C-alpha cells in the first residue's frame, strides 16, 4: 500500500488541534508512515495490527478518532466498525474507513455502517489531515453543545422554569415537561397548541397577554416579559411570569422561545407582613361570593400609623406592620383570612361570621391581643385600630360594593371616640341592580366608543402662558350628556374595565397633542389598579408610536396612594417609564402617608399639590407654610410643581410669590373640548406675535 506524505510546513498541519488517533491496519509500513505524518501535526498516535487489538486499545479510552483499514485478515474493518458502534455513536467517536480499492460498493457500505468518512489509497497527507481536523472540530463542537444543553437543563431545573418554543408560521409549539408540571400536567398531557395555551389564560388577562406578544413581535419591546393568571389542572388560577424572545429564521420562518415561572407566592403575598395581598384577597372574596353563604368583610386601619412611620422611620413602620399582623392573626380561626391591602390598611374575610354581634365579639378578641404594648426598637408603642365591617348575604354580588360599604363604615369608625367596629348598611335590592346595570352600560360604552377626553389648561404662573393640558376622561352617554369620572371610575376599577378606558383616553390625548400648533405637554392619569401591569408600558409605547407624539411631551399622573400601595414595584415601573423619556407626575401630593420617606426613590419629574392645600392657604398661615414646604421639597428633588384647584386671583398671587411653577383650576379655565384647547393655544401664539 502506498502513502503519499507531505511536509508539515507546506500543509499548515502544525496548527492542527491536538487529538489522540488510533490507527488499525494490518500493514506495518502503513502504520509507521501514518504515525510519522500525524505526529508531525501534533497528534498523539496509537496503533494496532488487527481488529481485536484495536478494540482492546479503544476500550482503554482516550481515543478521539479511528483510522480503520477495511481489508484485514480475520476480523474485517466492517466487523470492527460494527463493534465500535455498539458503544460509540458517530458524533462521539469519528471513524474514517481506509479503502485500498476505492470501490464504490466499499464506500457505500462504509457510510451505511455509520462510518463518518473514508479515504482511498494511496492516501494524500493533506487530504487526510484536513478530514481528521474537520471531524475532530465537529466532534468538539457537538460535545460543547451537549454540555451547554446539560447546563441549561440543570439551570432551568434549579430555577423552577419551564421552556416553551412556538413556531408562529407553522403553529407548532413545544412545552417542556417542567412547563406542564407547573400546571399539574404530565409530559403527554396538557395544551398542545397556542390556542390551547390561550384557553388556559384568565379571561381578564387574555387581551393583555396577546397584546404583549404582538408588541414584542412588532419590535415595540426588546423582550417578551409578562405576568398573568393561568388555570392550573386543579381548576384554580395561578400567577405565571413568561419571558421570551422573537427571532426571524430565514425568509419564511419565525419563532418565539421562552421560559415560564410560577410567581404565585410573590404575586399574592405582601412582602412586609407575609400576609395575602390585595390581589389574593379579592380572589378569595370572589370565591366567598360564589359560595352564596353568609360571611363578614372588614377593613382595618392602625391609629396614628402615619405619625409613627414618620417619627421613627419607614423601617420601624415595617416592623410595626409585621407585629400587628402577627398579633391580629393570633385571634383568628384557621378559616379566617387577614390580608394587607397597602399602607396601614388591612382586610379581614371571616366565612363563619353571619351577624354584627358575632363580628363585634371577634374584633373585641383581636383588640385584647394589643393590650400589651408593641416593642419597636427602643420604643414601646400602644397600638389601637379602627374597623369598618359588612355582613355579606345573598343580596351581595359585587366585591367592589362590599369593599365600598366596608370603607364607608371605616370612615364612620374613625369619627368615633371609642375603639369599636362600625358596620356598613346592607344594600337594597334596587341598589344592587343599579350597580349591575352600570357595569353593563360601561361595557357597552367601550364597545360604542363613548369615552372622550377633555383638556384642562396648565399655566405657567410666572407668565400666564398655557404650557400644557391635563387630559380628563368623560363619558358621553347618549341622552344624558357628559358624565364625570367620579360616577363611573370606581366601578370601572373594580370590574377591570379601567385599563381599556385609560388606554382610550391615552390614545385620544396623544393624537390630539400631536396636532397642537406648539410643543405643549399633555398629562394623562393612570389608574393605580394598572400600575403593576407589565402591559402598561407596552400600551403607552404603542399609543405614542401611533400618534407620532414626542415621548418628552407626555406625562403620566399617578396618585400618592398608588405609590404607597407597593413602593418598590411602583419605583421599578416609574423607572421604566422615565427611561423612555416620558415624565411622571405624582398627583394629590400630601394626602397620603409617609411619602417623604419614599419620594426620593422615584424618577418622578413633577409634584402636583392637592387642591385641599391650595384652598387651606386662605384659612391660615399654616396652610401657606405647608405649600411652601412642598415647593421647597420639590426644588430639592429637582422636580417641577403644579398647584391644582386654583379658583381665585388671591390663590394665584400667593402661589406665584412662593415660586410655584405651574397652576391649573377654574381660575384659568374649565376643562375644554379638543377644538377649544387647540384654539386657546393658537390664540396665545397670535397674541405673542402681535406683541413682538
Give dist(CA 163, CA 242) in Å, integer.
9
Whichever domain contains 101, its CATH number is 3.40.50.2300
Where is average pLDDT lowest: 5-9, 125-129, 249-253, 361-365?
Answer: 5-9
Q: Is the pLDDT score of 153 beyond 80?
A: no
Whichever domain contains 256, its CATH number is 3.30.450.20
Is 634 a member of any domain?
yes
Total Cβ atoms within 10 A of residue 334? 5
pLDDT tens-digit profile of 100-135?
766 777 878 888 888 988 888 777 888 889 889 889
**Cβ(663)–Cβ(470) below 8 Å:** no
The angle subtended at Cα 140 by Cα 135 and Cα 143, nearest 5°, is: 125
Q: Secondary structure of 196-261 in the HEC alphabet?
A: HHHHHECHHHHHHHHHHHHHHHCCCCCCEEEEEEEECCCCCEEEEEEEEEEEEECCCEEEEEEEEE
Q: What is the dihedral of CA 376, 379, 382, 387, to 10 degrees?
A: -40
Where is average pLDDT lowest: 189-193, 227-231, 405-409?
Answer: 405-409
Structural Rg of the chain based on CA atoms: 37
Contacts of 564 (CB under 8 A, 6+ apart): 342, 343, 592, 593, 594, 595, 598
pLDDT tens-digit profile of 471-517?
999 999 888 888 888 888 877 876 778 888 988 999 999 999 999 99
pLDDT tens-digit profile of 555-577?
998 876 666 555 666 777 888 88
Give, to the nearest 10 degrees, the angle between helix 125-159 and helix 28-40.
60
Total Cβ atoms within 10 A of residue 103? 12
- Same-domain pairing of 508 and 558: yes
User: Which pLDDT score is estimated for 48?
Assistant: 94
Where is average pLDDT lowest: 103-107, 197-201, 540-544, 623-627?
Answer: 103-107
Where is average pLDDT lowest: 355-369, 376-390, 403-417, 427-441?
Answer: 427-441
- Same-domain pairing of 488 and 637: yes
Overall number of domains in the chain: 4
pLDDT tens-digit profile of 205-214?
888 898 889 8
C-alpha 668: how far from chain center: 41
pLDDT tens-digit profile of 417-462?
666 688 876 555 555 567 678 888 888 888 899 999 999 999 999 9
**Cβ(171)–Cβ(194) below 8 Å:** yes
Is 433 a member of any domain?
no
User: Which pLDDT score is estimated for 10?
Assistant: 39
- Same-domain pairing of 635 and 618: yes
Whichever domain contains 369, its CATH number is 3.30.70.270
Which of 28-37, 200-209, 435-444, 668-677 has the highest average model confidence (pLDDT)?
A: 668-677
| Sheet strand arrangement including 337-342 | 337-342, 345-350, 295-302, 385-392, 421-423
Q: What is the DSSP string of 394-447?
A: TT---HHHHHHHHHHHHHHHHT-SS--EEEPPPPPHHHHHHHHHHHHHHHHHHH
Question: The domain containing residue 228 runs over which residues?
Answer: 160-266
- Same-domain pairing of 336 and 398: yes
Is 678 a member of any domain?
yes
- Same-domain pairing of 236 and 286: no
What separation in angstroms does the CA of 647 have from each of 483, 528, 653, 668? Answer: 22, 27, 11, 8
According to DSSP, the β-strands at 554-559 and 521-525 are parallel
Give dist(CA 661, CA 386) in Å, integer.
39
Q: Is the pLDDT score of 394 beyond 70?
A: no
- 576-596: burial string, b at 16+ Cβ within 10 Å, e else: ebbeeebbbbbbbbbebbbbe
Q: Is the pLDDT score of 5 beyond 60?
A: no
Give dist(CA 667, CA 131) in Å, integer.
87
Give dist(CA 228, CA 201) in Å, integer.
7
Of the pLDDT bands very low, low, confident and very high (cuts 50, 70, 90), residue 24 is: very high
| Domain final residue, candidates 98, 118, 152 | 152
| Domain final residue, candidates 238, 266, 294 | 266
The dihedral sign for the CA sequence 197, 202, 203, 209: negative
Q: Is the pLDDT score of 62 beyond 70?
A: yes
Of the pLDDT bands very low, low, confident and very high (cuts 50, 70, 90), residue 291 is: confident
Output the average pLDDT for the chain.
84
- Helix then strand count (H, E) for the chain reads 26, 28
Which of 283-297, 358-372, 426-440 has the highest average model confidence (pLDDT)?
A: 358-372
Give dist(CA 133, CA 139) in Å, integer.
10
Is 436 a member of any domain?
no
Q: Is the pLDDT score of 29 beyond 70?
A: yes
The dihedral sign for the CA sequence 32, 38, 41, 43: negative
| Domain final residue, candidates 427, 460, 495 | 427
User: Which pLDDT score is estimated for 2?
Assistant: 39
Q: Is the pLDDT score of 8 beyond 50?
A: no
- Same-domain pairing of 498 and 579: yes
Query: What average pLDDT does this structure show over 537-549?
Result: 88
- Same-domain pairing of 75 and 109: yes
- Same-domain pairing of 573 and 628: yes
Give, to the nearest 10 degrees, the angle between helix 674-691 and helix 498-513.
30
Q: Which three cell numbers stand for residue 568?
A: 418598590
Total Cβ atoms within 10 A of residue 9? 9
- Same-domain pairing of 133 and 13: yes
- Same-domain pairing of 246 and 98: no
Of the pLDDT bands very low, low, confident and very high (cuts 50, 70, 90), residue 170 is: confident
Is 271 a member of any domain?
no
- Same-domain pairing of 237 and 343: no
- Same-domain pairing of 457 and 397: no
**Which segments of 448-599 does DSSP mark as H helices, in order?**
489-494, 498-513, 535-547, 560-565, 567-579, 595-598
Is 614 a member of any domain?
yes
Burial of 51 (C-beta count, 10 Å sphere; 0-12/13-18/19+): buried
Residue in the structure block whose three cell numbers are 393590650: 371
Give dist(CA 159, CA 163) in Å, integer.
11
**Cβ(230)–Cβ(238) below 8 Å:** yes
Is 525 a member of any domain?
yes
Is 442 a member of any domain?
no
Amino acid at each position: 500500500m502506498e502513502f503519499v506524505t507531505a511536509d508539515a510546513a507546506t500543509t499548515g498541519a502544525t496548527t492542527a488541534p491536538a487529538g489522540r488517533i488510533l490507527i488499525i491496519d494490518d500493514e506495518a509500513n502503513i502504520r509507521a508512515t501514518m504515525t510519522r505524518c500525524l505526529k508531525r501535526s501534533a497528534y498523539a498516535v496509537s496503533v494496532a495490527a488487527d481488529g481485536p487489538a484495536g478494540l482492546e486499545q479503544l476500550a482503554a479510552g482516550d481515543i478521539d478518532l479511528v483510522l480503520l483499514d477495511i481489508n484485514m485478515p480475520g476480523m474485517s474493518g466492517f466487523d470492527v466498525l460494527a463493534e465500535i458502534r455498539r458503544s460509540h455513536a458517530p458524533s462521539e467517536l469519528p471513524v474514517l474507513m481506509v479503502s485500498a480499492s476505492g470501490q464504490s460498493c466499499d464506500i457505500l457500505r462504509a457510510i451505511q455502517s455509520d462510518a463518518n468518512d473514508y479515504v482511498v489509497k494511496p492516501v494524500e497527507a493533506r487530504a487526510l489531515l484536513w478530514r481528521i481536523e474537520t471531524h475532530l472540530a465537529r466532534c468538539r463542537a457537538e460535545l460543547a453543545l451537549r454540555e451547554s444543553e446539560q447546563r441549561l437543563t440543570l439551570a432551568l431545573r434549579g430555577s423552577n422554569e419551564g421552556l416553551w418554543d412556538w413556531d408562529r408560521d407553522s403553529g407548532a409549539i413545544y412545552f417542556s415537561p417542567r412547563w406542564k408540571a407547573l400546571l399539574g400536567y404530565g409530559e403527554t398531557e396538557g395544551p398542545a397548541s397556542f390556542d390551547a395555551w390561550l384557553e388556559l389564560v384568565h379571561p381578564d388577562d387574555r387581551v393583555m397577554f396577546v397584546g404583549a406578544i404582538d408588541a414584542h413581535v412588532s419590535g415595540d419591546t426588546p423582550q417578551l416579559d409578562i405576568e398573568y393568571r393561568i388555570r392550573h389542572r386543579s381548576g384554580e388560577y395561578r400567577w405565571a411570569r413568561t419571558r421570551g424572545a422573537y427571532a426571524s429564521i430565514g425568509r419564511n420562518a419565525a419563532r418565539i422561545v421562552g421560559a415560564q415561572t410560577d410567581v404565585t407566592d410573590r404575586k399574592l403575598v405582601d412582602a412586609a407582613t407575609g400576609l395575602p395581598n390585595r390581589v389574593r384577597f379579592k380572589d378569595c372574596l370572589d370565591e366567598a361570593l360564589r359560595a352564596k353563604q353568609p360571611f363578614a368583610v372588614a377593613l382595618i386601619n392602625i391609629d396614628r400609623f402615619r405619625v409613627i412611620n414618620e417619627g421613627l422611620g419607614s423601617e420601624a413602620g415595617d416592623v410595626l406592620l409585621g407585629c400587628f399582623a402577627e398579633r391580629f392573626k393570633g385571634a383568628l380561626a384557621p378559616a379566617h383570612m387577614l390580608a394587607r391591602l397597602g399602607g396601614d390598611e388591612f382586610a379581614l374575610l371571616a366565612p363563619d361570621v353571619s351577624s354584627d354581634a358575632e363580628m363585634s365579639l371577634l374584633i373585641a378578641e383581636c383588640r385584647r391581643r394589643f393590650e400589651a404594648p408593641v416593642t419597636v426598637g427602643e420604643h414601646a408603642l400602644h397600638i389601637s385600630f379602627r374597623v369598618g365591617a359588612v355582613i355579606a348575604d345573598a343580596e351581595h354580588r359585587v366585591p367592589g360594593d362590599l369593599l365600598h360599604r366596608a370603607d364607608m363604615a371605616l370612615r364612620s369608625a374613625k369619627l368615633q371616640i371609642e375603639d369599636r367596629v362600625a358596620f356598613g348598611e346592607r344594600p337594597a335590592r334596587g341598589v344592587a341592580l343599579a350597580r349591575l346595570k352600570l357595569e353593563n352600560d360601561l361595557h357597552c360604552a367601550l364597545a360604542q366608543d363613548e369615552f372622550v377626553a377633555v383638556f384642562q389648561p396648565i399655566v405657567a404662573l410666572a407668565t400666564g402662558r398655557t404650557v400644557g393640558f391635563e387630559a380628563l376622561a368623560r363619558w358621553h352617554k347618549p341622552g344624558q350628556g357628559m358624565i364625570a369620572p367620579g360616577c363611573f371610575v370606581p366601578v370601572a376599577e373594580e370590574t377591570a374595565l379601567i385599563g381599556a378606558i385609560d388606554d382610550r383616553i391615552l390614545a385620544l390625548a396623544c393624537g390630539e397633542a400631536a396636532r397642537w400648533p406648539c410643543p405643549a405637554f399633555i398629562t394623562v392619569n393612570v389608574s393605580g389598579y394598572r400600575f403593576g401591569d407589565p402591559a402598561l408600558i407596552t400600551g403607552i409605547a404603542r399609543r405614542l408610536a401611533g400618534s407620532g407624539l414626542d415621548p418628552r411631551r407626555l406625562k403620566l399622573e399617578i396618585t400618592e396612594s398608588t405609590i404607597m400601595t407597593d413602593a418598590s414595584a411602583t419605583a421599578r415601573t416609574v423607572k421604566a417609564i422615565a427611561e423612555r423619556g416620558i415624565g411622571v407626575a405624582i398627583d394629590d401630593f400630601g394626602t397620603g402617608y409617609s411619602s417623604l420617606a419614599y419620594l426620593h426613590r422615584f424618577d418622578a419629574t413633577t409634584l402636583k399639590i392637592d387642591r385641599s392645600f391650595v384652598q387651606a392657604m386662605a384659612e391660615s398661615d399654616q396652610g401657606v407654610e405647608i405649600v411652601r414646604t412642598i415647593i421647597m421639597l420639590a426644588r430639592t428633588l429637582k422636580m417641577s410643581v403644579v398647584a391644582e384647584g386654583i379658583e381665585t386671583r388671591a390663590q394665584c398671587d400667593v402661589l406665584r410669590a412662593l415660586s410655584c411653577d405651574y397652576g391649573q383650576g377654574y381660575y384659568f379655565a374649565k376643562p375644554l373640548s379638543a377644538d377649544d384647547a387647540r384654539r386657546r393655544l393658537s390664540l396665545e401664539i397670535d397674541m405673542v406675535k402681535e406683541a413682538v
